[in-house]
Structure 1
Amino acid sequence: MRLPILLLTLALPLLSQGQTADDIVKRYLDKIDGSKKWKDVKSMITKGEYDYGGIVFPFTTYAKAPSQYKFVVPFNGKYYAQGYDGNSGWKIDAFKNETTPTLLNGSQARAMANEADVELEIPFINYKAKGHQIKLEGRDTLDGKQFYIITLLKSGGEKETYYFHSTTYSLYLKKSIAKNIELEKALLDT
């Protein structure tokens, strides 16, 4: 009886190496109840960090469908904020002692509108129908835990990297490049 258990124990690591990007995404979607609950989501708050020239800042985003968005970066008692109400964008940069909103025009307004493209449904739900592609990049260890690394290439060309826990399939980290010109393509970790 010990031999079959020993063989199964030895085979489990090999079986887990056979995971595909589709397998991992399916397990993640099963864990979060797939698209069922996501259809009811109308607003979302996201927290993370972005790397601005080697300096890491915290940020919080507030999104409400279909196109309302606010981005806030607090630091040392000051903040940078910008928002989009579906029609126009604004910003306040308290780091530059601004106290009233400045309306965004031209490329800044377009960047804010792109950032406000509120996608409350996670991109993995029906990703193939959306024209997205996924790829398993491998595994990595973060904070002493093992993760699968999945790259999502969106139909518009944006690339995002996701870290899924190797046994629970929970999403741990998402890395992406900011669309917002103000952030100068800073790396966002959410």
Structure 2
Amino acid sequence: MNILKSLIVALIIAIIAPTQAQTADEIIDTYLENTGGKENWKKLTGTKMVAQVNQGGMVIPVTIYSGNKGEQAVVIELQGKTMTQFAFDGETMWSTNFMTMKAEKSDKETTDNMKLSSNDFPNPFIDYKEKGYTVEYLGKETKEGAETFKVQLTMEPVSVNGVESPSISYYYFETENYVPILIETTQGDNKTSITMSDYQEVDGLYFPFSMSQGPQPIEIKEIVLNPEIEAGLFAFPAEK
């Protein structure tokens, strides 16, 4: 009797599992289609986002650059000066020390973790299986006042204080338009939460123009697709 019961349970799991996996894929496919189409997303070579951050009542202009080889740079205007707050050229990650105003390279662990996300532009869900990622549909939840589909994305493990840790993100897709309105990411003991809203069309693709990480709101003013980027923007500055 116990053997028969175990077989029935195993059969139910075998039937449900692919259904859930397919449901996750359907949500992702609909999301990509609704925001411009997978093939159009894959044609992107880079983005430039002109934004502003409100920090303690002080508005700081920010420009965020991203490239299709993992390059990233965040350039800010502060007290009349323009400086690169953070940059990554695919190999070297660095930032500006606001005390000395000099560029400093990030440590090896931080840089290696950054390299893992180099193939995630413009979206980690695109060709996720080829990247070795997995997805799982976890049901519906109410987030930010809206009904959402909760999808778990498991990526390559990262190193946290020398210990390999899972890298798991929970995406909450609003059920009406199938766009994510919240991302919760866990890497070891580090947890981050990003909310997204005000999706707008830019040359056929849809982007959130309002985002917030914790209490830090980011308002996007303009997004440029496939921009011309100054040579050397991402590279660690040569010593003078």
Question: Would you say same fold, with TM above 0.5?
Answer: yes
Q: Distance in 2 between matches of 1:60 and 1:153?
A: 29
Tell me what 2:131 maps to: 130
CA contact (8 A) 2:116 2:156 kept: no
Q: Distance in 2 between matches of 1:86 and 1:26?
A: 28
Comparing 20-29 and 146-155, the one that deviates more: 20-29
Supply the RMSD in Å over aligned alpha carbons: 3.8
Structure 2 residue runs of 5 or longer lacking an equivalent are 1-19, 54-61, 158-165, 196-240
Q: Distance in 2 between matches of 1:38 and 1:66?
A: 14
Tell me what 1:189 maps to: 194
Which one of the candidate residues 99, 102, 105 is aligned to 1:100?
A: 102
CA contact (8 A) 1:44 1:120 kept: no
Q: Is the alpha carbon distance of 1:82 and 1:185 closer, same or farther for their aligned partners in structure 2, counting shifts above 3 Å?
A: farther
Which one of the candidate residues 180, 185, 204 is aligned to 1:176?
A: 185
Deviation of 1:25 (Å): 1.7
User: What's the secondary structure of 1:20's corresponding residue?
Assistant: helix
Deviation of 1:150 (Å): 0.5
Deviation of 1:99 (Å): 1.3
Query: TM-score under structure 1 normalisation?
Result: 0.62
Q: Distance in 2 between matches of 1:188 and 1:73?
A: 22
For residues 30-84 of structure 1, the C-alpha deviation after alignment (integer angstroms, 9 at most, x for no partner) is: 212432111221123578x9xxxxxxxxx97532121322247999x9x992212
Q: Is the alpha carbon distance of 1:113 and 1:29 closer, same or farther for their aligned partners in structure 2, counting shifts above 3 Å?
A: closer
Q: Distance in 2 between matches of 1:114 and 1:133?
A: 15
For residues 94-130 of structure 1, the C-alpha deviation after alignment (integer angstroms, 9 at most, x for no partner) is: 2xx2312123354344345446x25214222232333
Query: TM-score under structure 2 normalisation?
Result: 0.51
Q: Is the alpha carbon distance of 1:113 and 1:20 closer, same or farther for their aligned partners in structure 2, counting shifts above 3 Å?
A: closer
Which one of the candidate residues 17, 21, 25 is aligned to 1:22?
A: 25
Alignment of 1:1-190 (within 5 A): 20-44=23-47, 61-71=64-74, 81-94=85-98, 97-114=99-116, 117-156=118-157, 157-177=166-186, 185-189=190-194
Aligned partner letter, 1:176: T
Aligned partner letter, 1:120: F
For residues 141-163 of structure 1, the C-alpha deviation after alignment (integer angstroms, 9 at most, x for no partner) is: 22321111100112555211111
Q: Distance in 2 between matches of 1:45 and 1:186?
A: 26
Deviation of 1:29 (Å): 2.4
Structure 1 residue runs of 5 or longer lacking an equivalent are 1-17, 50-58
Higher strand share: 2
* Count of aligned residue pairs for this structure pair: 156
Taking only the aligned residue pairs, the percentage that are identical comes to 23
Aligned partner letter, 1:144: G
User: What's the secondary structure of 1:175's corresponding residue?
Assistant: strand
Q: Distance in 1 between matches of 2:177 and 2:132?
A: 27
CA contact (8 A) 1:69 1:118 kept: no
Q: Is the alpha carbon distance of 1:143 and 1:131 closer, same or farther for their aligned partners in structure 2, counting shifts above 3 Å?
A: same
